[in-house]
Structure 1
């Protein structure tokens, strides 16, 4: 298989972000990549009604290249959408990668995210500050300050109503897909950061145990924003995973 015949890699970002979050990673990937904006994000129209995981996945599915199955890589909310697509549109997905994904939140984990959802629309600016601090703790992160500021600006540019609709899916979508994970037939990779407090290593272990053909990787020292915090490590795992599932390379 030549480089021009390799399957396309499709990247799905997290809630409140957009396709630009993937730029640090794309530079290190061995395949052609396409980064889509999720419904209600970036260049897509804002969401004006309540959504669920199925409705967001249907929107993304309509925008996927139909010529060949893709390596589908989702981050956070994008990982939940990717899982739904792998399960219900298997002919369109060659491999599934869930980056910093939640999975089967415990009662305490569900309560914590519901609390963030409850205040998302009423104290949006403070929510952004808290997210930035969770993702890039002052004095503890090596991420370039320009990337941190760009992330902050992307979050601040959200339409608040649309963001809340999307965040509700992030808060509850793991329950929507949980019973379907065993039906995912593609090779899968569950990968997260060792120090991610929200999409924890234990959640990725739950995911890897639930999907029949799923490898697990935990990146030491990384937090939630793995694609920008350690794009080299993530790209290394992705490139190997893709190669392992494409047969012999020319």
Structure 2
């Protein structure tokens, strides 16, 4: 567990947000009192979660580079959708207004934000993150980050973040309870090729796809199972995904159409 504190000059709202988080998740709240993050880590021997007005950031014990939530590529992807343009994930998943989507590998939430926008206020987007710190950071970040384009803010606020293992959660879901089940496994090749993910290395779950995971996804998904993976990944062929080739990207999408697929 980490300790919770605020920026150097917190507003009452920021302090209230931080203390509420600490109470809800059983973390220790520490008044900042002009102390550096390094000093707090040395004193309490824990990572530090810092609340600010517009963002929340986490610094792992023994490191100096903070990890913070940012909507990242979802910003320009949603703007493109608003202009009537395409998005490879939205197109692969065939997302429609009102769809129910389960993102089994939430990570930093960029793909979930785009999907949340695509399915609109009548849809439901549930994002699962197995690493507690990442789940909490993204959950809080989605609630406070503000972009100029309000459609992005609305998409972020609608996402339900859950700290949960994907397989365990899928087992609790009734048949056909989501229209789309999505996987974007965080694996070492992707991490090593993405410099901006450096602070996330120690928090990433590198667990691969499994037969059991895909079997449960098949039961839960009513319309499609979608996978994003490195173009060299064997998962597309191994699990029967129809691959969408992206010549300009090392990351490809694949799908299993549950309405036509026969095991």
What's the TM-score, normalizing by structure 1?
0.37
Q: Which has the higher helix share?
A: 1
Q: Which has the higher strand share?
A: 2
Which of 1 and 2 has greater Rg?
2
What's the TM-score, normalizing by structure 2?
0.35
